Amino acid sequence: MEGMSIIVKKVTQLMVGIIFMFGIYIILHGHLSPGGGFAGGVLIAGAFILLILAFGSSSLKLKKEVAGSSNTESIGILMVVVMAVMAMLFGAKVFFFNFLPKGEAGELLSAGVIPLYNIFIGIEVAGAILTIFLALIIFKEESSK
Amino acid sequence: MDALIPLFIVIPLISAFLIMILGKLVKGFHRYFAPLTLLVLLAMTIIVFANLGGSSLQYTVGGWGLEKGIPVGIFMVLDAFSVLMLCIINLLGFIALFYSFSYIAKYTAESNYYSLFCLIIAGMNGVVLSGDLFNLCVFLEVSVIASYALVAFGVGKTELEASYKYQILGSLGFMLILLAVGLIYWKTKTLNIADIRQVFEAGYSKPYYIFVQVLLIAGFGLKAAIIPFHAWLPDAHSSAPSPISAMLSGVLIKAVGIYVIIRLFFNMFVFSYEIALVLTSLGAISMVVGSLLAIVQWDLKRLLAYSSISQIGYVLMAFGMGILLLLRGNNEAAAVLAIGGGIYHMINHAVFKGLLFLNAGSIEHRLDTRNLKEMGGLSTAMPITSTTSFMGSMSISGIPPFNGFFSKLIIIVAAINGKFYLLATLAVVVSIITLAYFLKFQRFAFFNKSAGEALSKIREVPFPMSFSMIVLATLCLALSLLAIPSVSELILRPAIDVLMQSDLYSTTIIGI
Amino acid sequence: MTVYLLCFVLFLVGLYGLITRRNLIKIIISKSITEFSVFLILVLIGYIDQGLAPIVDPGTSHQVYVDPLPQAMVLTAIVIGLATTAMLMAIAIRLYRKYKTFDIREIKNLRG
């Protein structure tokens, strides 16, 4: 599909980096303020989708892109489950246990294993939403040929 | 053995996503990994089944046990009723997966199929093992969303339309369930099933209680396809690929429909007379209407789908009779018979309905048609399919010595013992009507004079498909041994005890 | 009491759209409206009078917070709703390719 006008392209070039950074900020501060994995992941996917919408998909190799985002999503979920199962080896030996040291309340590096869960869930949700979007574009391209 | 409980959900989840990643890199990876996963699950189920006895195991996720006497964490509960459901799910999952080796080879995206199949198994295991109300809803949606994708797998016109209808009605059911969970939380301030039972035992306000129960019957009725919530079932189960039809009709409407209704209405809600009446009458109406709608069908899988509605009506009616008999108080032996008959018929229906759908799949694989008028004379061309389908049809119609006869007999005897003469008559009449339409299936598919020369060139189906059908047919015969009193004392009686002694459930799980 | 009544009115609006609209996409949008009304009811159930948002500031003393459990339930349910809406949209697009129309009165291959 074609890109948009030059004003949209310039503004997107300026804004995409900021949106991406904002998404990472919301993921990392998930244990201190509202947000967390889901909301931050959607924002990161939004940054990529804005880029594809503004510049058109004719310069991308769509099959490679969708394979990349699908693999990212699967790796994100696998890391979450592997970490939950690893918790069965430390500490109280139950599933999903919080086995890293919990620091002070209110610091960025605290609450044990929760920031790691947030990061992996954020990667997974971003990959999932990007895969949905790319799959819809691929279907439209293939059926309009 | 406590540590095995979360592994039932973790193992299929990991394998689903590993198949997604490695299925594109390594050719044929999914053909070895998916059945390996299901074999591991089957082995774990057998270990748990042999070692459980009558006790209930519980597992607290994350180590969050009781804080000042209030359960704050997510509890996973494995008791005698759950272990029977686990056996059905994993055994039928393995057989359907083995069947689909040769069936799915004609589609292109094979690794997606195996990955979604593992997700269905993971979701259903989660529903059956959960002791927490919202956890149950989440795993229910995991398995149901995977089944939406699998119904639409071969993207033809009828599959897409059936999947769309299924999805809209399934989402409506989920919204009603979520509303009911919210209303329960509002009054009880807890989500743990055992704790909610203790709050309800202390007292409740009647109009609120009946409203919440009716919302739950409507929501889970949409998932279990009882009349009048059955509109999606004939389309979805007839358009799906045949191993998925076997999974959907044999396991999914039981694990996420009937099992949850039974668990909540026996172990969470205090018995109430009006709701028991509603359950029994819905079961009886499903029984009758499902079988009447099945007689007029000429599409093979649609006939089998309507017959599923009828048999699920048997199960629901049996459990409803059990509640009514327990409320009356003076006939405990009849209540034990009714509940035992319900559980036994649930197990039997999974086996013979799975077998019948796999047979329909074999016929469709060779003939490319589902219309009964275009088949004929297959008994000489496909001997294994013909024999196993004959055994399956005789089981579901209730002919001795197959298993369907014993479970229907137990339900009818319980109805007569409890003086429900109308329900007993309806059960016998519906059994005769079931025999009628299955004889129609047998005659038009297998024993008619052949409709043309082309049909005599049909060969038997490949080995994976015939092996699965033979295993299920053997199980049909073997399960009739469960009617022997000494065997049913060992296997069925712990499950019946878990359901009947509901106050024991809540004190064992929380330990207060 | 009026807030719960308004949420119920939103549920009925979504249900009306689900039943009477003929376009496939409008049915999906009405389903989303119905879902959101259920989420609103869930969040409102956890409201406590004079409660603050449930984020603990270290160093402050005992405060009254609103109930955070329904908010966690609604977060999960929003993601489930997103997944079902995405699947429905994909199926609706494929249906358009096969039948060349979005009207549900034309898509009636399966009857009886």
Q: Domain coordinates of chain B in residue numbers? A: 4-506
Residues B415/B427, Cβ–Cβ less than 8 Å? yes
Question: Which pLDDT band, with edges at 50, 70 and 90, does B86 fall under?
Answer: very high
Helix-helix angle B383-397:B463-478, to 10 degrees: 30
Residues in chain B: 512
Residues of B in contact with C69 (CB under 8 A): 185, 191
Question: Which pLDDT band, with edges at 50, 70 and 90, does C37 fall under?
Answer: very high
Q: Is C9 exposed, middle or buried (0-12, 13-18, 19+ CB in 10 A)?
A: exposed
What one-character-per-residue DSSP string does B423-486 give? Answer: HHHHHHHHHHHHHHHHHHHHIIIIISPPSSSGGGG--PPPHHHHHHHHHHHHHHHHGGGGGSHH
Average pLDDT over residues B220-247: 92
CA–CA distance, B294 with B306 (Å, rounded to integer): 5
- What is the four-CA torsion angle of B251, B252, B253, B259, rounded to 10 degrees? 80
Name the residue ranges covered by the structural domains of chain A: 6-143
Residues of C in contact with A34 (CB under 8 A): 53, 55
3-state secondary structure of B99: helix
For chain A, which chains pass the contact test of at least 3 CB pairs under 8 Å?
Answer: B, C
Specify the pLDDT at position B370: 85
Contact C86 A132 (CB under 8 A): yes
CA–CA distance, B474 with B359 (Å, rounded to integer): 14
Would you give per-residue pLDDT tens digits along chain A (145 residues)?
788 899 999 999 999 999 999 999 999 998 888 888 899 999 999 999 999 999 888 878 888 888 889 999 999 999 999 988 888 877 667 777 777 777 777 778 877 888 899 999 999 999 999 999 999 888 888 877 7
CA distance C95 to chain B (A): 6
Return the residue in C74, C82, C96, C97 with the most chain A beta carbons within 10 A, the one to mutate for interface testing: C82
CA–CA distance, B116 with B118 (Å, rounded to integer): 5
Residues 6+ apart with CB under 8 A from B481: B487
Specify the pLDDT at position A28: 92
Contact A75 B18 (CB under 8 A): no
Specify the pLDDT at position B452: 62
Is the minimum CB–CB distance between C10 and chain B shorter than 8 Å? no
Residues C78/A42, Cβ–Cβ less than 8 Å? no
pLDDT digits (tens, 9 = 90+) for C48-102: 988 888 888 777 778 899 999 999 999 999 999 999 999 999 999 999 988 899 9
Q: Over chain B, what is the mean pLDDT?
A: 89
pLDDT digits (tens, 9 = 90+) for B269-322: 999 999 999 999 999 999 999 999 999 988 999 999 999 999 999 999 999 999
pTM higher than 0.90 for the full model? yes
Structural domains of chain C, ranges and CATH numbers in brackets: 2-47+65-99 (1.10.287.3510)
CA–CA distance, B280 with B314 (Å, rounded to integer): 9
Nearest CB partner across the interface for B163, out of C41, C73, C91: C91
Q: Is A6 exposed, middle or buried (0-12, 13-18, 19+ CB in 10 A)?
A: exposed
Question: Which pLDDT band, with edges at 50, 70 and 90, does B68 fall under?
Answer: confident
Average pLDDT over residues B430-441: 93
CA–CA distance, A92 with B58 (Å, rounded to integer): 15
Specify the pLDDT at position C76: 93
C-alpha closest to that of A139 among C91, B114, B107, C81: C91
Question: Which pLDDT band, with edges at 50, 70 and 90, does B500 fall under?
Answer: confident
Q: What is the 3-state secondary structure (H, E, C) of A28-82?
A: HCCCCCCCCHHHHHHHHHHHHHHHHHHHCCCCCCHHHHHHHHHHHHHHHHHHHHH
- Across A140-144, B31-35, B101-105, least confident range: A140-144
Contact A38 C75 (CB under 8 A): yes
3-state secondary structure of B192: strand
Question: Which pLDDT band, with edges at 50, 70 and 90, does C112 fall under?
Answer: low
Cα B121–Cα B30–Cα B382 angle in degrees, nearest 5:
80
pLDDT digits (tens, 9 = 90+) for B399-414: 888 888 999 999 999 9
Contact A139 C57 (CB under 8 A): no
- Across B123-137, B238-252, B446-460, least confident range: B446-460
pLDDT digits (tens, 9 = 90+) for B88-100: 999 999 999 999 9
Specify the pLDDT at position A143: 78
C108 vs A54, which has greater pLDDT?
A: A54
Q: Report the residue of chain A nearest C84, measured CA to CA.
A: A132
C-alpha closest to that of C92 among C28, C30, C5: C28
CA–CA distance, B216 with B179 (Å, rounded to integer): 9
pLDDT digits (tens, 9 = 90+) for B153-178: 988 888 999 999 999 999 999 999 99
Specify the pLDDT at position B450: 66
Residues B58/B131, Cβ–Cβ less than 8 Å? yes
- Across B221-225, B322-326, B338-342, B494-498, least confident range: B494-498
Tell whether the model's pLDDT for residue B368 goes beyond 70: yes
Residues 6+ apart with CB under 8 A from B161: B235, B239, C95, C107, C109, C110
